[in-house]
Protein backbone atom coordinates (compact mmCIF):
# COMPACT_ATOMS: atom_id res chain seq x y z
CA UNK A 1 0.00 0.00 0.00
CA UNK A 2 1.23 3.40 -0.94
CA UNK A 3 1.26 6.11 1.64
CA UNK A 4 0.74 9.70 0.41
CA UNK A 5 2.37 12.40 2.39
CA UNK A 6 0.75 15.86 2.31
CA UNK A 7 3.16 18.50 1.16
CA UNK A 8 3.56 21.32 3.59
CA UNK A 9 4.02 24.90 2.32
CA UNK A 10 6.59 26.71 4.31
CA UNK A 11 5.07 29.57 6.29
CA UNK A 12 6.10 32.98 5.08
CA UNK A 13 7.98 35.15 7.46
CA UNK A 14 6.30 38.23 8.85
CA UNK A 15 8.84 40.35 7.00
CA UNK A 16 7.38 39.12 3.71
CA UNK A 17 3.94 40.45 4.63
CA UNK A 18 5.49 43.63 5.88
CA UNK A 19 7.19 44.28 2.54
CA UNK A 20 4.02 43.45 0.63
CA UNK A 21 2.08 45.89 2.77
CA UNK A 22 4.78 48.52 2.40
CA UNK A 23 4.84 48.18 -1.39
CA UNK A 24 1.05 48.43 -1.55
CA UNK A 25 1.06 51.43 0.78
CA UNK A 26 3.74 53.15 -1.28
CA UNK A 27 1.82 52.49 -4.49
CA UNK A 28 -1.36 54.00 -3.04
CA UNK A 29 0.52 56.89 -1.43
CA UNK A 30 2.41 57.71 -4.63
CA UNK A 31 -0.87 57.59 -6.53
CA UNK A 32 -2.36 59.99 -4.01
CA UNK A 33 0.62 62.32 -4.35
CA UNK A 34 0.41 62.21 -8.13
CA UNK A 35 -3.32 62.97 -8.06
CA UNK A 36 -2.80 65.74 -5.53
CA UNK A 37 -0.03 67.20 -7.65
CA UNK A 38 -2.24 67.01 -10.72
CA UNK A 39 -5.09 68.80 -8.91
CA UNK A 40 -2.66 71.42 -7.67
CA UNK A 41 -1.41 71.97 -11.21
CA UNK A 42 -4.96 72.21 -12.58
CA UNK A 43 -6.00 74.69 -9.85
CA UNK A 44 -2.88 76.81 -10.39
CA UNK A 45 -3.50 76.79 -14.14
CA UNK A 46 -7.15 77.80 -13.69
CA UNK A 47 -6.20 80.48 -11.18
CA UNK A 48 -3.83 82.04 -13.71
CA UNK A 49 -6.48 81.86 -16.42
CA UNK A 50 -8.98 83.60 -14.12
CA UNK A 51 -6.32 86.16 -13.17
CA UNK A 52 -5.74 86.98 -16.85
CA UNK A 53 -9.49 87.30 -17.44
CA UNK A 54 -9.94 89.51 -14.37
CA UNK A 55 -7.06 91.67 -15.54
CA UNK A 56 -8.63 92.09 -19.00
CA UNK A 57 -12.01 92.95 -17.45
CA UNK A 58 -10.40 95.51 -15.14
CA UNK A 59 -8.54 97.19 -18.00
CA UNK A 60 -11.84 97.54 -19.81
CA UNK A 61 -13.54 98.85 -16.65
CA UNK A 62 -10.76 101.36 -16.01
CA UNK A 63 -11.17 102.87 -19.47
CA UNK A 64 -14.94 103.04 -18.92
CA UNK A 65 -14.55 104.67 -15.50
CA UNK A 66 -12.14 107.31 -16.83
CA UNK A 67 -14.61 108.08 -19.60
CA UNK A 68 -17.42 108.22 -17.05
CA UNK A 69 -15.47 110.70 -14.91
CA UNK A 70 -14.93 112.95 -17.96
CA UNK A 71 -18.62 112.87 -18.81
CA UNK A 72 -19.81 113.52 -15.26
CA UNK A 73 -17.42 116.46 -14.89
CA UNK A 74 -18.85 117.92 -18.09
CA UNK A 75 -22.41 117.41 -16.79
CA UNK A 76 -21.44 119.21 -13.57
CA UNK A 77 -20.01 122.08 -15.62
CA UNK A 78 -23.24 122.19 -17.66
CA UNK A 79 -25.34 122.33 -14.49
CA UNK A 80 -23.20 125.21 -13.21
CA UNK A 81 -23.70 127.11 -16.48
CA UNK A 82 -27.47 126.56 -16.47
CA UNK A 83 -27.74 127.71 -12.86
CA UNK A 84 -25.67 130.81 -13.56
CA UNK A 85 -27.75 131.79 -16.60
CA UNK A 86 -31.09 130.96 -14.99
CA UNK A 87 -30.14 132.77 -11.79
CA UNK A 88 -29.43 136.01 -13.63
CA UNK A 89 -32.50 135.69 -15.88
CA UNK A 90 -35.04 134.46 -13.35
CA UNK A 91 -37.66 137.10 -14.21
CA UNK A 92 -37.05 137.35 -17.94
CA UNK A 93 -38.88 135.82 -20.86
CA UNK A 94 -35.71 135.01 -22.81
CA UNK A 95 -32.24 133.64 -22.14
CA UNK A 96 -28.88 133.49 -23.92
CA UNK A 97 -28.80 130.61 -26.41
CA UNK A 98 -26.15 128.86 -24.29
CA UNK A 99 -28.92 128.06 -21.82
CA UNK A 100 -30.48 125.78 -24.43
CA UNK A 101 -27.11 124.24 -25.20
CA UNK A 102 -26.40 123.34 -21.58
CA UNK A 103 -29.90 122.38 -20.47
CA UNK A 104 -29.77 119.75 -23.21
CA UNK A 105 -27.34 117.93 -20.89
CA UNK A 106 -29.09 118.63 -17.58
CA UNK A 107 -30.62 115.16 -17.42
CA UNK A 108 -27.82 113.23 -19.07
CA UNK A 109 -25.95 110.50 -17.29
CA UNK A 110 -23.17 108.07 -18.11
CA UNK A 111 -24.05 104.50 -17.10
CA UNK A 112 -20.73 102.69 -16.82
CA UNK A 113 -20.71 99.44 -18.78
CA UNK A 114 -19.02 97.19 -16.21
CA UNK A 115 -17.37 94.02 -17.52
CA UNK A 116 -18.46 91.27 -15.11
CA UNK A 117 -18.01 88.23 -17.35
CA UNK A 118 -15.17 86.67 -15.33
CA UNK A 119 -16.81 87.43 -11.98
CA UNK A 120 -20.08 85.82 -13.06
CA UNK A 121 -18.23 82.77 -14.35
CA UNK A 122 -16.20 82.40 -11.15
CA UNK A 123 -19.22 82.85 -8.88
CA UNK A 124 -21.39 80.40 -10.81
CA UNK A 125 -18.66 77.75 -10.80
CA UNK A 126 -17.58 78.42 -7.20
CA UNK A 127 -13.99 78.82 -8.34
CA UNK A 128 -13.08 82.02 -6.53
CA UNK A 129 -11.33 79.66 -4.08
CA UNK A 130 -8.59 79.15 -6.69
CA UNK A 131 -7.33 82.64 -5.87
CA UNK A 132 -5.33 82.03 -2.70
CA UNK A 133 -4.26 85.60 -1.93
CA UNK A 134 -6.74 86.83 0.71
CA UNK A 135 -5.92 90.50 0.13
CA UNK A 136 -6.63 90.04 -3.57
CA UNK A 137 -9.94 88.26 -2.96
CA UNK A 138 -11.02 90.92 -0.44
CA UNK A 139 -10.30 93.73 -2.89
CA UNK A 140 -12.14 91.91 -5.68
CA UNK A 141 -15.17 91.54 -3.39
CA UNK A 142 -14.97 95.24 -2.42
CA UNK A 143 -14.69 96.27 -6.05
CA UNK A 144 -17.74 94.37 -7.25
CA UNK A 145 -19.77 95.41 -4.20
CA UNK A 146 -18.94 99.03 -5.06
CA UNK A 147 -20.14 98.42 -8.62
CA UNK A 148 -23.52 97.37 -7.23
CA UNK A 149 -23.71 100.52 -5.08
CA UNK A 150 -22.87 102.74 -8.06
CA UNK A 151 -25.45 100.99 -10.22
CA UNK A 152 -28.13 101.31 -7.53
CA UNK A 153 -27.41 105.02 -7.01
CA UNK A 154 -27.75 105.55 -10.77
CA UNK A 155 -31.17 103.92 -10.74
CA UNK A 156 -32.22 106.07 -7.79
CA UNK A 157 -31.08 109.24 -9.55
CA UNK A 158 -33.41 108.52 -12.46
CA UNK A 159 -36.32 109.86 -10.35
CA UNK A 160 -34.48 113.14 -9.78
CA UNK A 161 -33.61 113.48 -13.46
CA UNK A 162 -37.25 112.91 -14.37
CA UNK A 163 -38.25 115.87 -12.17
CA UNK A 164 -35.71 118.09 -13.96
CA UNK A 165 -37.01 116.81 -17.30
CA UNK A 166 -40.57 117.71 -16.34
CA UNK A 167 -39.58 121.23 -15.23
CA UNK A 168 -37.45 121.76 -18.33
CA UNK A 169 -40.44 120.95 -20.54
CA UNK A 170 -42.37 123.78 -18.85
CA UNK A 171 -39.55 126.28 -19.41
CA UNK A 172 -37.89 125.85 -22.80
CA UNK A 173 -39.40 126.62 -26.19
CA UNK A 174 -39.54 123.30 -28.00
CA UNK A 175 -38.78 124.91 -31.38
CA UNK A 176 -35.26 125.76 -30.22
CA UNK A 177 -34.77 122.90 -27.80
CA UNK A 178 -35.42 120.41 -30.62
CA UNK A 179 -32.72 122.04 -32.73
CA UNK A 180 -30.16 121.66 -29.96
CA UNK A 181 -31.34 118.13 -29.16
CA UNK A 182 -30.96 116.99 -32.76
CA UNK A 183 -27.62 118.64 -33.43
CA UNK A 184 -25.76 118.50 -30.09
CA UNK A 185 -24.83 115.13 -28.60
CA UNK A 186 -22.99 114.44 -25.35
CA UNK A 187 -19.98 112.86 -27.05
CA UNK A 188 -19.32 115.98 -29.11
CA UNK A 189 -19.83 118.26 -26.12
CA UNK A 190 -17.53 116.27 -23.82
CA UNK A 191 -14.83 116.12 -26.50
CA UNK A 192 -15.29 119.85 -27.09
CA UNK A 193 -15.86 119.39 -30.82
CA UNK A 194 -16.95 122.47 -32.78
CA UNK A 195 -20.71 122.89 -33.07
CA UNK A 196 -22.45 123.50 -36.37
CA UNK A 197 -22.65 127.11 -37.65
CA UNK A 198 -26.41 127.11 -36.97
CA UNK A 199 -25.97 126.07 -33.33
CA UNK A 200 -23.07 128.48 -32.87
CA UNK A 201 -25.26 131.34 -34.10
CA UNK A 202 -28.14 130.33 -31.82
CA UNK A 203 -25.82 130.09 -28.81
CA UNK A 204 -24.95 133.77 -29.20
CA UNK A 205 -28.54 134.94 -29.61
CA UNK A 206 -31.26 135.66 -27.09
CA UNK A 207 -33.85 132.88 -27.29
CA UNK A 208 -37.38 132.93 -25.87
CA UNK A 209 -38.69 130.78 -23.05
CA UNK A 210 -42.24 129.51 -22.68
CA UNK A 211 -44.83 131.88 -21.30
CA UNK A 212 -44.84 131.63 -17.51
CA UNK A 213 -41.42 129.93 -17.44
CA UNK A 214 -40.18 132.30 -14.75
CA UNK A 215 -42.41 130.65 -12.12
CA UNK A 216 -40.62 127.31 -12.66
CA UNK A 217 -37.05 128.60 -12.82
CA UNK A 218 -36.48 128.79 -9.02
CA UNK A 219 -37.63 125.18 -8.59
CA UNK A 220 -35.44 124.11 -11.50
CA UNK A 221 -32.46 125.82 -9.88
CA UNK A 222 -33.07 123.93 -6.63
CA UNK A 223 -33.13 120.57 -8.39
CA UNK A 224 -30.07 121.43 -10.49
CA UNK A 225 -28.16 122.34 -7.33
CA UNK A 226 -29.30 119.11 -5.70
CA UNK A 227 -28.22 117.02 -8.69
CA UNK A 228 -24.87 118.79 -8.90
CA UNK A 229 -24.23 117.94 -5.26
CA UNK A 230 -24.96 114.26 -5.81
CA UNK A 231 -22.77 114.06 -8.92
CA UNK A 232 -19.86 116.03 -7.48
CA UNK A 233 -20.10 114.29 -4.13
CA UNK A 234 -21.24 110.69 -3.99
CA UNK A 235 -21.00 109.70 -7.65
CA UNK A 236 -17.56 111.09 -8.52
CA UNK A 237 -16.25 109.85 -5.17
CA UNK A 238 -17.52 106.31 -5.74
CA UNK A 239 -16.37 105.89 -9.33
CA UNK A 240 -12.98 107.40 -8.43
CA UNK A 241 -12.70 104.84 -5.63
CA UNK A 242 -13.63 102.10 -8.11
CA UNK A 243 -10.86 103.30 -10.42
CA UNK A 244 -8.36 103.17 -7.55
CA UNK A 245 -9.50 99.69 -6.51
CA UNK A 246 -9.22 98.38 -10.07
CA UNK A 247 -5.63 99.67 -10.25
CA UNK A 248 -4.78 97.99 -6.92
CA UNK A 249 -6.30 94.68 -8.03
CA UNK A 250 -4.46 94.76 -11.36
CA UNK A 251 -1.20 95.41 -9.52
CA UNK A 252 -1.83 92.42 -7.20
CA UNK A 253 -2.75 90.20 -10.14
CA UNK A 254 0.43 91.12 -12.00
CA UNK A 255 2.55 90.43 -8.95
CA UNK A 256 0.82 87.21 -7.87
CA UNK A 257 0.52 85.58 -11.29
CA UNK A 258 3.44 87.21 -13.12
CA UNK A 259 1.22 88.76 -15.78
CA UNK A 260 2.75 90.86 -18.51
pLDDT in tens, 46-85: 878 888 999 999 999 999 999 999 999 999 999 999 999 8
Query: What average pLDDT does this structure show over 173-184?
Result: 84
Q: Is the pLDDT of residue 1 over 50?
A: no
Range of the structural domain that residue 47 is part of: 14-257
Q: Tell me the average pLDDT of the chain.
A: 84
The C-alpha atoms of residue 214 and residue 170 are separated, in whole angstroms, by 10
Q: Report the pLDDT averaged over residues 182-194.
A: 79
- Does residue 3 form part of some domain? no
Question: What stretches of the chain show up as alpha helix (H) in DSSP?
Answer: 14-88, 97-103, 117-125, 134-171, 174-183, 186-190, 197-203, 217-230, 236-257
Q: Is residue 9 part of a domain?
A: no
Rounded distance between C-alpha atoms, residue 236 and residue 150, angstroms: 10
Q: What is the mean pLDDT of residues 203-210?
A: 91
Q: What is the pLDDT of residue 80?
A: 95
Between 134 and 127, the higher pLDDT residue: 134
Would 1 be classed as within a structural domain? no
Residue 123 in any domain: the answer is: yes
Write the Ramachandran bin of 156: left for phi over 0, alpha for psi from -120 to 50, otherwise beta: alpha
Q: Which residue has the higher pLDDT, 187 or 56?
A: 56
In a domain? residue 190: yes
Determine, yes or no, domain membership for 7: no
Tell me if 6 is assigned to some domain. Answer: no
Q: What's residue 9's pLDDT? A: 53
Structural domain contains residue 185: yes
Higher pLDDT, 201 or 39: 201
Burial 162-175 (b: 16+ CB within 10 A, else e): ebbeebbeebbbee
Please count the structural domains in the chain: 1
pLDDT of residue 31: 63
Give dist(CA 83, CA 229) in Å, integer: 13
Strands (E) located in the chain = 94-96, 206-208
Quickly state the pLDDT bin for 181 (edges 50, 70, 90): confident
Note the pLDDT of residue 166: 96
Amino acid sequence: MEVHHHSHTARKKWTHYFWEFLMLFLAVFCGFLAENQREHYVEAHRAKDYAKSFYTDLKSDSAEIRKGIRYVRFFISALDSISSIAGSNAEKTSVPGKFYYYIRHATHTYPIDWNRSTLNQVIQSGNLRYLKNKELVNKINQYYALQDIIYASGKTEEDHREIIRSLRNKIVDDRYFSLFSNKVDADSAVDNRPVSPQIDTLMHQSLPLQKGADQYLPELLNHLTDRRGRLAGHYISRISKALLLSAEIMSLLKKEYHLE
